Structure 1
Amino acid sequence: VNHRLKQSFKRLHAVKRLTGWSRARKTRALGLWWQALLNLDETTQVCTGESQRVLLATSLGAYQPASRLDSLLAMALKLRGAEPHVFLCDSFLPACQLVDAYFYPNQDKFLRHGSRHDVCRTCTEPTASVFEALDVPVHRFSSYVTDLRRHEIGELAAGLPAGDISGYRFGNIAVGEHALAGALRFFASGSLDREPRGEEVLRSYFRAALLTAEATRGLLDEMEFDNVVLHHGLYVPQGIICEQFRARGARVATWHPAYRRGCFTFSEDDTYHKTFIDESTAKWEEIPWAPEFDSSLMEYLESRRCGSRDWISFNRQPIESLEEISSSLGLDPNKPWIGMLTNVLWDAQLHYAANAFPSLLDWTVRTVEYFARRQDLQLIIRAHPAEVSGQLPARQTISDELNQAFSVLPDNVFVI
C-alpha cells in the first residue's frame, strides 16, 4: 500500500515541481563538489600514450545515478589523458525512460506535450553545466537532426501500421524493439492490449527511438569515438545508442547499479540482461581462487536473504521459517515442492535468442497447466516482490493474470 501511495503522490503537480527542483539542486551541488575537489590543471593529468576519445552517453540528465557515475568516469578518464565527451537529450525526445503512467495518469497531456513542461525543465541544463564546468564537451541530441528529418520521422512514426512497429529496424538497429520495451515500461505492464492509449504511447516511443537513431548517426558522422559508456543499454534512448556504436565498431560498455551496496555492473557490447546469458565463461572460470574469496562470497550470499549489504533490495523483512510458510500455504510435506520464480512482467522486454516461450506470462500459464495434471507434485510460484516494492510497481501482476487465466487455481499450485 505504501508503494502505491508513493506512486499516487507523483501525480500531484506540486510534487512534480518539487521533485524536479530537488533533483536539479542535487545535480548542481555535484558540479560544485567536483570543482572543489579537483584542480583541473593539465599537469594533474596522467598521460598513458595516444589519447582515446570516449563518449559518455548519459542521455537523461535527470537520471541521478548517471549524472553521478558518468561525471566520475569523465574525470577518471580525463586525469588519465583520455578525451571524454557527453551526449545529452535536450528536451528533444517525446518519450524516454524517465517517465511512466504513474507520473502521467492523464496520457492525453503526455501525448500532446511529452514531458517538456515538467521533467525536461530540470533534466538537461543542470547536468550539462556539471560537465561543462569540468571542461568536458557536451553534445545535444537536437544539434544532429534537421527539421526535415524530424518531419519525415514524425510521418513514419504516425503512419507505420502498429503491428509492424516492434519489428522495425533503422538500418540494422532494432529501434522498434526498444520502442516497445520503453512503452511497456511506461505502463509497467507486460502488454499494451488493455491500455486505451497503448498504441499512441507506443508511437511516441517509436518516434523517440527514431529521433535517437538519427541524432546518434549525426554525431558519429561528425566525430569518431573509440569507446562509448552508457547506462542500461536498453529502452529509449540508451538501447538505440548502444546498438549504433556497436554497429560502427566502437567498444561498448554498459553499466547499471548492482544490487550490492557501492557496486556497479559493467558489461561489454550489450546490456547485462543479455551478456549474463551469453558471456563466455572463459572470462571468469580461470580466476585464481583462494579460501578467503570463497568465504567472502558465501558471506555475501548469506546476506542476500534480507539484503543487508545491498542498496537494491525488495524484501528487507522476509519470512524464513519453512514451517510458517508451509502452514500458511497449506503445503503437503509428503509431496515434492517445486519452486517457480517469475520476473516483473514489463521488465527488459527484448528479444532473447534462447527464448523457449513467447512471453513470461505464457510460460507461467503453461507451467500451471502442466502441474494441474501432476497431482503428485506441488508448484510454489514466487511472484517477484518488485511487482509491489520496486521503484516502478507493476500495473500488471502475475497473480492478477493467473486469476484471469484460471477461475480456480489447481489445488497443488500456490502463489506467494
Structure 2
Amino acid sequence: MSTRATLEHGTYREHSRLEEIVVRAVPGGALLLIATILSLIMSNSGLSELYSTVRDAHVGFTLGPLNLDLTIGHWAADGLLAVFFFLAGLELKQEFVVGDLRSPSQALVPVAAAFGGVAVPALLYTLINLGGPEGAGGGWAIPAATDIAFAVAILALLGSSLPTALRTFLLTLAIVDDLIAITIIAIFYTSDLRLGFLALAVIPVALFWLLTNKAEALFKKHYWTAWVLLLPLAVITWVLFLNSGVHATIAGVVLAFMVPTRGLSPYGKQHSLSHTLEHRLRPFSSAIAVPVFAFFSAGVAVGGLTGLLDAWQSTVALGIIVGLVGGKILGIVGTSFVLTKLTSARLDPSLRWPDMLGMAAVAGIGFTVSLLVSELSFTAGDPIYDAAKVGVLTASALAAVLGAAILVPRNAMHRREQAAEGAAGASDSTKATEADG
C-alpha cells in the first residue's frame, strides 16, 4: 500500500476552501498593515497624546459584581478580538471534523511542526532571558504564535507559482498554532479565577449549542435570527468569561466549538451553519475587529533611533526576535525533517526543503496574537512592555523580509518549471495530432 505524502494536494473541497482563504487574506493583511503603520505614526508624533488619551479612555459601567468599565484599548483586545478567536475556533473545528486534519496520518507532520514552531521559540526566549530583567521570563509565549492573516497574505502575494501543498501546510500549521496559543492563554494567562462566573457561563453556552444544532436550518434561511437569538447569548457568555478571570477571547472559541460543522459538497457548496457564520463574520473581523485591535495595540512610543536601539538591546525584544525569526524556522523545518526521516511520511513531490524554509520564515510573522500575549505578560508603563511590542513588530518585519528573500526566487523557479512543463505538454500534443494525421 502506497504512503500518502504529508503535504500533497488536498481534496477538491480543501483546495477550493484554501483558494478562498488566500483571496480573503490579502486585503485583511493590507488593512492590518495600514492600521499598524498609522498607530506607530500617531504614537511617535505630535498626535501621541491624543492617541494615548483615546486608547486609555474608560467606556462602560459596573453592574453589581459585573465589571464592564474598560478602556477603549481593552475593549479592542478583549471584545473585538473575541470575534477573531470565534472565527479561529470555527476554522479549528472545521479542520478537525471535515478537513484534512481529521486524518491523523495526514495531520501528523503539520501538527508536529506547529508544536515545534511553538516550543523552540519559547525555549530560545527563555534561555535569552535567564539573566534578563525581573519578570521578563513571563513573556515566554510571545514568540510562539503565527499570524494567519499576515502569513497567508504574504505567501499569496509572493508565491503565485508556489506549490499549493505549501499553502496547505502553512494554513494547517497556523490553525494548529492558534489552537496552541488559545490553550496557552486559557491556562497560563488566567488570573483571579472566579468559578462562579464560569459555572454561570455554562447556561448561555448550552443554549447556544441547543439553538445552533436544533435550529440550524432557521439560521441559514433567515440570518437575522442569528442576531436576535445567538448574539445576546454570545454577549452574555463573553461578559461572564470577562469577569471569571479567564481571558474573554476564550469565550469566542468555546462558542465556536458549539456550532455544527459538516462537509462541503463535491462542488464546494456551503451548507453548514459553521460555514455560513464564518462567511458572514469574516469581513467584520478582517476589516474592523483585527485592524482596530492592531491600531490600539501596536502603538508604542519608540523614542527615536536611540529609543529603538535601546529596545533592541533588551533581552525581551531580543528573545522575541530570535524566537520568531530563528526559532520558528528551526522548530518547523527541524520537526518536519526529523519526522519525514524517521517515519513513513514524505513531502509532496512538488515541494523541496528550500520551499519549506521560506514558508517557515513567513510563519515567524507573529503580530496579532503575539501583541495580545505581550499585553497579557507585562504591565503597561513597564519598560519591558514597550520592548516586547518593539520586538514583535521588528521580528514580524524581519520574518516577512526573510520569507520574501527565500520565496521570491523560489516562486520564479517554480514558474519557469511550470512554463517548461506546459511547453513540453503542448509539444507532445502537437506531435500526437500530427501522427494521427
TM-score band (shorter)?
Answer: under 0.3
Greater fraction strand: 1
TM-score (norm 1): 0.27
TM-score (structure 2 length as normaliser): 0.26
